[in-house]
Amino acid sequence: MAIELVTGKKGTVHVDSADDGALYAAIAGKGEYVLDLDDRLACTMTTANKAHVASGHGLMQGRHWLIDAEGVDLTIQNGTQGQKRNDLIVARYECDAKNGNIESVALKVIKGTPTTGTPADPACTRGDILEGAALVNEQPLWRIPLNGITVGTPIQMFDVLTPAKEAWDSVAQAVVKAAKVVLDNFRTSSTVVVTVPVAWPVDVSRVVAVVPSYVCQEYSDRIVVSDWGADGVDVRAGVDQNVSMTLHVLYV
């Protein structure tokens, strides 16, 4: 079939997980994220051997999965005295190719390797779900560090996907603004960079660009603002002369 109306009534079952997955991946990105909903899969150690992952929603290469209000409890194996270890809590996607490509997801603990040095995270199985080439893919969620028999605080390993409204608001607030600063009658040099003091209209860390316009008092010359900072602007010129300059300061 060359073309198909996916979100349309056809009279037969024709929308599958690959259709939805492609749509979500195109909108949110092809990576793996946690959505800003519910408890955002918060993880706590309820006992020395039990991790609790709270409610939330994940996106795994376009596949939407969730944990309900009950949450999920997982067992962390005991540590080894005098050694360190990193375990990972992952969301494990599976596609059963021998049973009609039935798909499923579950949380799993991947046990790391104990060491007396710096522990490394255990490897996750990676696969390309969007291309239909993955029988297994594991999305890292939390690192559980163990130091001897002591279990540390879970460490987040996922990115929380910013809702589109919040992302748009943050962009709108970062609109570039402009101000003018006049530098009257300073002397340029043909041999050294001259730093001209500037009374910046905002904190200089907010300045994103400085565009100069200038009037040469004696000779025609090309004058360049090569850098700027708290002390002012660095000015390069080809001849020694007096110059008046207006800085068009762009800032956020």
Quote the CA–CA distance of 241 and 231 in Å, as a whole number. Answer: 22
Contacts of 87 (CB under 8 A, 6+ apart): 76, 77, 109, 110, 111, 112, 122, 143, 144, 146
Q: Is 130 exposed, middle or buried (0-12, 13-18, 19+ CB in 10 A)?
A: middle
The string of pLDDT tens digits covering residues 42-98 is: 999 999 999 999 999 999 999 999 999 999 999 999 999 999 999 999 999 999 989
74: helix, strand or coil: strand
User: Is residue 174 scored above 90 in pLDDT?
Assistant: no
- Enter the pTM of the model: 0.68
Nearest of 148, 88, 151 to residue 116 by alpha carbon:
148
- Beta-bridge mates of residue 187: 242
Contacts of 91 (CB under 8 A, 6+ apart): 58, 60, 65, 105, 106, 107, 108, 138, 139, 141
- Averaged pLDDT, 167-174: 69
Quote the CA–CA distance of 41 and 33 in Å, as a whole number. Answer: 11
Both tokens of residue 128? 């390309």
User: Is residue 173 scored above 70 in pLDDT?
Assistant: no
Amino acid letter, 153: T
165: helix, strand or coil: helix
The reported pLDDT for the residue numbered 23 is 87
* Stretch (H or E) spanning 212: strand 207-216
Amino acid letter, 44: T
The reported pLDDT for the residue numbered 105 is 97
Quote the CA–CA distance of 146 and 114 in Å, as a whole number. Answer: 9
The string of pLDDT tens digits covering residues 106-125 is: 999 999 999 999 999 999 99
CA angle 142, 106, 149 (to 5 degrees): 40
**What CA–CA distances, in Å, run from 120 to 23, 99, 143?**
35, 36, 10
Quote the CA–CA distance of 38 and 186 in Å, as a whole number. Answer: 60
Higher pLDDT, 171 or 240: 240
- Averaged pLDDT, 228-242: 94
